[in-house]
Chains A and B, each alone.
Chain A
């Protein structure tokens, strides 16, 4: 039995394996910017996880060299007013950005997708309720919303994750709703229904598998926005705690003051780091969208 199954599987998988690789290679050739985005985001994830270990200095250590030294071999990005190594802070800053953006996108994306699918598939009052909430949400400028949350729950990583997640939630739900509605009314679903398939079977066999990849696309396209939102909040001083290596924080306050005095390296490198990662996220998101669902292309 086992051998039969194994041989069956190997028979089944071997011919498939190669085309997949080939297809991937072709995709990569068709979307070079997407590959670039993927590399950037991969690097971002690696830095986010191993950053503090990779960084040449402890990002919080005072006076790793002189104060406000320009870029040099010992400090490629220079040092800030506390004498901290800017490169180490930029590397370590990936972590908070990664934690917040990924959690927010994951939470917001999955809840949003769920709501969208439910709304699109069941329609009626569920749809009505979710869509009206979405409209109310859209009428709520995000900055106002962040402040309300912070006022109510206090400042902190969790509050920011929730705030950004909710931001991603309704946008996602609308797209998924549309896609689900299309699937649910497609001819093959009607055919399945005519053949007597149960609703649950239709939903799980036919509708869900077709819309789920969209969730991944959605998450990847909202990643850039989440990173931007996190850094903007940190910049306004309503994000994570000071002292935390964070790109947004490192561009505000005294660093900004000294930048005006000519110590540009203190703010420019964190700014470039944000820009690069958001660029990577956007390129990756665009590519994934093109690959999975050209209809979404703008």
Chain B
């Protein structure tokens, strides 16, 4: 609700996960976003687009009237290297939404857990959470052959997934989560090492990949999932072609009778955005993520009322990260860089004006972000003259070019790097050079390993949980030293303390204080902007629901109805 309050109803119609990557990747559409797994600060480009969500669609006809033979056709932006959900973020999230069931999930709008397979949730004390399981069955394939989901499956799923090298577990899961007890087949007791405000968020017990319920037998031999995926979710995994063109069909024994309303889903590999748009226009796919307003305007012009556009403000923040050591140790140098960035021009270039300046918390988190006025006077200030003066005062050697590292992940990555480079050259009078790296090296070595010389630029994931945006200001990020080598005890303590504050209002105030402190200390991660994301749907894709973060993807009431 908070998120919705900021924008008009149209603007707040949130297309599934709000596409962290969506806009970020230019290719439009990826899921990635809200799952907020601690470790991945940026989206990978390979996830297919998710379907729309159901729910808040205003006029749903009586169920008997709904055609249930529709197949939703989606675009996949790149082949996956593995279909195993424990070996990739793309597969993990996609199967997490469609093929696996979960105990519960916490939507972004209410931030309160909603029950899925669980029929009750109790927290008798802060470190003990008790779930009662409802009736659910696995898909009818060997080796489980449609047997009932038990508490042991849940235990095995949580406990095995966090040990997988390919699964990004969070500090919550590695440090606070103490294990699961199963007194009987229908009871799951989660034990925690300490009280924690984040327990039910997507960074904790609600993480899409971590909480996916996978049969116990398969947890014992995860390689099984290299070949086949068996869950207890709404859709049954039917097949794929070498990591592309996935096919799902309705699970007839899904725990909600009559759902899902789709007979199946199909993904088609279309790597080029241009081709994806053409495919959408030719009605070969039902929905497509749009990279910008130009694409939106063109589609609307071409198809008029035959298509509908969902729009959303992303929670994926484009960031410029300097170092905090070497010639960047002087806060004046870092401030100069921030002062030399003209955010309005960046927004104009990156989004054709359809974006918003972002504070440390993106504008979608209105209750915890600083006011626009406050930010305009501090973080967002653009003043090339002062920037140059600061550089001169700090004795910065401007003859040395500034190196900007960026991942080779898509148009927008290099476009952003180019825009920042051009502004720094113009406004600071320095030379720049852009270094592109493949995503693996960039993420593991350059960002996590701090192997960058001057600047590194990227979009964050679109988190469902606000405190995730504070990670670049901590001394340790997921067990590794701060990427920028920015070690500030005061900020670090403030962040640690905020996690233990269980009172919501008090916690939000603490989060705002942290942001003020980070700006005051010229912490090296400078948030620049958030894009607006667009997705086009043919009119027959009905039952879409938006505004609830990734929650909208757990939707059984999306359907295809070509009647007008």
A residues neighboring B (CB under 8 Å)? 60-63, 67-68, 81-83, 155, 237, 241-243, 253-254, 256-263
Contact = CB atoms under 8 A, between A and B. Distances in A.
B170 interface: no
B27 to A, nearest CB: 9
A242 B291 CA distance: 19
Interface residues of B, number: 34
Given A62-B419, A241-B435, 18 more contacts: A61-B426, A62-B349, A63-B349, A67-B348, A81-B415, A82-B418, A82-B422, A241-B434, A242-B408, A242-B417, A253-B26, A254-B26, A254-B291, A256-B272, A257-B26, A259-B274, A261-B298, A263-B294
Nearest to A257: B273
Given A68-B294, A242-B436, A256-B274, A62 B422 contact: yes
Contact of A260 (B277, B345, B410, B423): B277
Nearest to A156: B435
Chain B interface mostly:
helix
Contacts of B275: 260
B69 interface: no
B298 A262 contact: yes
B349 A81 contact: yes
A223 B422 CA distance: 33
A257 B436 CA distance: 20
A63 B435 CA distance: 23
B421 A67 contact: no
A142 to B, nearest CB: 21
Contacts of B425: 60
B278 A63 contact: no
Interface of A, secondary structure class, is loop
B178 to A, nearest CB: 44
Interface string B129-168: 0000000000000000000000000000000000000000
B433 to A, nearest CB: 7
Contacts of A83: 349
Contact of A82 (B272, B294, B349): B349
The 8 A-B residue pairs with the shortest CB-CB distance in the complex, in nearest-first order: A260-B274, A242-B414, A254-B411, A253-B411, A243-B418, A257-B273, A243-B434, A62-B422
B295 interface: yes
A241 B406 CA distance: 10
Contacts of B278: 260
21 contacts: A61-B426, A62-B349, A62-B419, A67-B352, A68-B294, A82-B419, A82-B422, A83-B349, A155-B436, A241-B434, A241-B435, A242-B418, A243-B414, A243-B418, A243-B421, A243-B434, A253-B410, A256-B274, A257-B274, A258-B294, A261-B298
Contacts of B277: 260-261
Contact of A60 (B352, B421, B436): B421
Contacts, number: 76
Contacts of A243: 414, 417-418, 421, 434
Contacts of B414: 242-243, 253
Interface string B275-297: 10110000000000001001100
A261 B433 contact: no
A59 B411 CA distance: 18
Contacts of A68: 294
A60 B435 CA distance: 16
Interface in B392-447: 406, 408, 410-412, 414-415, 417-419, 421-423, 425-426, 433-436
Contacts of A67: 348-349, 352
A137 B345 CA distance: 50
A62 B273 contact: no
A261 B295 contact: yes
A83 B435 CA distance: 22
B9 to A, nearest CB: 28
B415 A254 contact: yes
B430 to A, nearest CB: 13
A163 B172 CA distance: 48
Contacts of B426: 61
A256 B418 CA distance: 17
Contacts of B417: 242-243
A79 B419 CA distance: 15
Most buried by A among B26, B349, B433: B349
Given A60-B425, A67-B352, A242-B434, A82 B415 contact: yes
A19 to B, nearest CB: 52
Given A60-B425, A62-B345, A63-B345, A257 B418 contact: no
A8 to B, nearest CB: 55
Nearest to B408: A237
B17 to A, nearest CB: 22
A241 B422 contact: no
Nearest to B433: A241
A268 B152 CA distance: 61
A93 to B, nearest CB: 15
A260 to B, nearest CB: 3
A103 B406 CA distance: 28
Contacts of A260: 273-275, 277-278
Given A242-B417, A253-B411, A60 B422 contact: yes
A225 B421 CA distance: 33
A158 to B, nearest CB: 14
A257 B291 contact: yes
B556 to A, nearest CB: 34
Nearest to A62: B422
Nearest to A255: B411
Interface centre among A62, A63, A67 (most CB of B within 10 A): A62
Contacts of A263: 294
B442 to A, nearest CB: 12
Contacts of B295: 257, 261
A272 B273 CA distance: 23
A126 B421 CA distance: 51
A155 B438 CA distance: 10
A253 B412 CA distance: 9
A67 B346 CA distance: 12
A61 B422 contact: yes
Contacts of A237: 408
Nearest to B277: A260
- Of residues A63, A68, A254, A259, which shows the largest number of chain B Cβ atoms within 10 Å of its Cβ? A254
B419 A241 contact: no
A259 B298 CA distance: 12
B294 A261 contact: yes
A261 B352 CA distance: 15
Contacts of A256: 272, 274
A61 B349 CA distance: 12
A127 to B, nearest CB: 41
A262 B277 CA distance: 12
Contacts of B298: 261-262
Contacts of A82: 349, 415, 418-419, 422
Contacts of A60: 418, 421-422, 425
Contacts of B411: 253-254, 257
A85 to B, nearest CB: 13
A282 B419 CA distance: 37
A61 B422 CA distance: 6
A242 B348 CA distance: 20
Most chain A beta-carbon neighbours within 10 Å: one of B272, B295, B298, B414? B414
A258 B348 CA distance: 16
Contacts of B26: 253-254, 257
A243 B295 CA distance: 23
B457 to A, nearest CB: 12
Contacts of B419: 62, 82
Nearest to B435: A241
Interface string B72-116: 000000000000000000000000000000000000000000000
Contacts of B433: 241
